[in-house]
């Protein structure tokens, strides 16, 4: 009797991730960054690194930002 038959495969885990609701933080700028990463599936593989690097930089700026200060243009949370 094997319990391994109940373990999810890589294919079912990928399907589960695709079916999951999009991640939203409630912080507009951060949610825009997350959305760009979520859209990677539709973009050529060659573009993925640049998207991840831009997302990392944007999230880093969001973490470093003074929560009481108004957002600068082009920064997460800033008006578009």
Tokens of 13: 């885990």
**Under 8 Å CB-to-CB from 34, ≥6 apart: which residues?**
22, 23, 24, 25, 55
- Residue 12 within a domain: no
- Residue 56 within a domain: yes
pLDDT recorded at residue 21: 75
- Residue 42 within a domain: yes
- Residue 21 within a domain: no
**Cα–Cα distance, 7 to 19 (Å, whole number):** 18
Number of domains in the chain: 1
- Residue 40 within a domain: yes
- Residue 10 within a domain: no
The whole-model pTM stands at 0.57
Find the domain containing 59 and state its range.
26-66
Query: pLDDT tens digit string along 11-70?
Result: 666 666 666 777 788 888 999 999 999 999 889 999 999 999 999 999 999 989 877 766
- Residue 60 within a domain: yes
pLDDT recorded at residue 2: 52
- Residue 6 within a domain: no
């Amino acid at each position: 009797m094997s319990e391994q038959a109940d373990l999810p495969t890589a294919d079912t885990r990928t399907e589960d991730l695709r079916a999951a609701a999009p991640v939203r933080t409630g912080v507009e700028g951060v949610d825009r960054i997350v959305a760009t990463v979520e859209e990677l599936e539709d973009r050529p593989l060659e573009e993925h690194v640049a998207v991840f690097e831009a997302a990392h930089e944007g999230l880093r700026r969001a973490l470093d930002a003074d929560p009481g200060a108004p957002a600068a243009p082009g920064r997460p949370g800033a008006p578009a």
